[in-house]
């Protein structure tokens, strides 16, 4: 009998350890504003989903499936959604954000707000729930637009080849909406299906507005020639984020997500210095992050991945390094 209770106690302890150590995955599906970026060692472009891992503790795993140029339609048609469903486990989350490419009049991408766009969003929501997952709808992040002629919304992917061409034309002192009904549809679907909703449009509108016309350039792939060694000829891209912009937006969206999904609030973290050899932080090396800490300032540096030698830390810097396992 004692042996039975001994074995039962061990089994119960193992079960409790397993359940308490189970990690939750947050899947991200969407377009280039959230997407993974190749060539990150020599390319400062980042999607907010690419750096989202640094906004959570080690009990959350971010699995980003957002891809450049995809709409709610093409993401389905290419079989990308099925890959997420195959991995989705009960209790996992799916962040659903489309709109930038749904508004493009290309046969493989275009959907109608109030029609096919809403239907695709509802499909993502319903199929997530069928697998025991928790869907969260987001509307699009804003484009940095202070010139009304930009409302024609050409293919955002072409912006990657647009080098700096001098001072930008501006005819508005306030940010101009470029998405129209596509930012309203996710909210309506969320309300109809009782789904948590994150107003990414409002959040990023406020960030861009607070930074101002010139200051908001710092969020985007917007560089004058010689300003960034990785973009020697400069660039004028008001849609896609650079390292700094993605970091700012990801942290803001993580806070908003925690407000809509209280279960995640205890897992949200904010680090000014995040190191990742895979481009998932705002520093590519540990020494670079240490050097960026101002003298006399206390700082925690989160290391997400990579193998690093012990950094050289000046005596007048109070730096704590947190290695994520």
121-141 per-position pLDDT tens digit? 999 999 999 999 999 999 999
Same domain, 140 and 101: yes
Range(s) of the domain holding residue 219: 23-270
- Kindly state whether residues 297 and 261 are assigned to the same domain: no
**How many domains does the structure of the chain reveal?**
2
pLDDT digit string, tens, across residues 78-124:
999 999 999 999 999 999 999 999 999 999 999 999 999 999 999 99
Q: Answer yes or no: is 13 within a domain.
A: no
Same domain, residue pair 191 and 291 = no
200/20: higher pLDDT: 200
Considering the domain architecture, whether residues 246 and 285 belong to the same structural domain is answered as no
CA angle 158, 162, 167 (to 5 degrees): 135
Instruction: State pLDDT tens for residues 268-320.
Output: 999 999 999 999 999 999 999 999 999 998 999 999 999 999 999 998 999 99
Residue 263 lies in a domain: yes
Q: Which residue has the tokens 């995040």?
A: 274
Q: Residue 205 class from Cβ within 10 Å (0-12 exposed, 13-18 middle, 19+ buried)?
A: middle
Residue 99 and residue 141 in one domain? yes
Mean pLDDT in residue range 141-169: 76
Q: Does residue 118 belong to any structural domain of this protein?
A: yes
Q: Are residue 266 and residue 292 in the same domain, yes or no?
A: no
* Alpha-carbon dihedral angle through residues 216, 219, 225, 228, given to the nearest 10 degrees: 140
266 and 312 co-located in one domain: no
Q: What is the CATH number of the domain that holds 73?
A: 3.40.50.1110
Examine residue 40 and state whether it is found in any structural domain, yes or no.
yes
Instruction: Please give the sequence-ordered ranges of beta strands (E in DSSP) within the chain, or none if there are none.
Output: 24-30, 45-46, 60-64, 93-97, 134-138, 197-198, 220-223, 235-242, 273-275, 298-303, 318-323
Task: Give yes or no: residues 323 and 253 share one domain.
Answer: no
If asked whether residues 151 and 57 sit together in one domain, one would say yes
Any domain includes 246: yes
In sequence order, what are the residues at sequence separation of 6 or more whose Cβ sits closer than 8 angstroms to the Cβ of residue 94?
26, 27, 28, 29, 84, 88, 124, 128, 133, 134, 135, 136
State the pTM of this model.
0.91
- Same-domain check for residues 227 and 189: yes
* Domain co-membership, 192 together with 46: yes
Q: Residue 251: inside a domain, yes or no?
A: yes
14 in a structural domain = no
Do 57 and 96 belong to one domain? yes
């Amino acid at each position: 009998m004692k042996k039975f209770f001994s074995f039962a106690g061990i089994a119960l302890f193992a079960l409790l350890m397993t359940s308490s150590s189970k990690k939750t995955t947050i899947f991200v599906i969407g377009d280039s504003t959230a997407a993974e970026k190749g060539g990150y060692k020599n390319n400062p472009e980042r999607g907010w989903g690419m750096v989202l891992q640094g906004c959570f503790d080690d009990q959350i795993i971010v699995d980003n499936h957002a891809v450049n140029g995809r709409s709610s339609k093409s993401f389905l048609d290419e079989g990308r959604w099925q890959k997420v469903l195959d991995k989705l486990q009960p209790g996992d989350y799916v962040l659903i954000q489309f709109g930038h490419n749904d508004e493009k009049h290309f046969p493989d991408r275009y959907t109608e707000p109030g029609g096919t766009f809403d239907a695709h969003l509802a499909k993502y929501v319903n199929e997530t729930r069928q697998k025991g997952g928790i869907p969260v709808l987001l509307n699009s992040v804003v484009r940095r637009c202070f010139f009304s002629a930009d409302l024609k919304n050409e293919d955002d992917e072409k912006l990657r080849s647009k080098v700096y061409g001098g001072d930008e034309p501006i005819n508005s002192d306030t940010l101009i909406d470029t998405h129209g009904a596509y930012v309203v549809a996710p909210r309506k679907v969320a309300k109809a299906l009782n789904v948590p909703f994150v107003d990414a449009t409002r959040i990023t509108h406020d960030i861009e507005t607070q930074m101002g016309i010139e200051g908001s350039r710092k969020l985007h792939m917007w560089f004058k020639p010689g300003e960034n060694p990785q973009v020697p000829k400069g660039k004028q891209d008001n849609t896609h984020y650079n390292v700094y912009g993605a970091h700012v937006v990801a942290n803001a969206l993580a806070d908003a997500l925690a407000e809509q999904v209280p279960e995640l609030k205890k897992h949200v973290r904010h680090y000014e210095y995040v190191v990742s050899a895979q481009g998932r932080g705002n520093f590519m090396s540990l020494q670079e992050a240490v050097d960026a800490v101002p003298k006399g300032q206390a700082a925690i540096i989160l290391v997400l991945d990579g193998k690093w030698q012990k950094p050289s830390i000046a005596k007048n810097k109070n730096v704590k390094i947190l290695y994520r396992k």
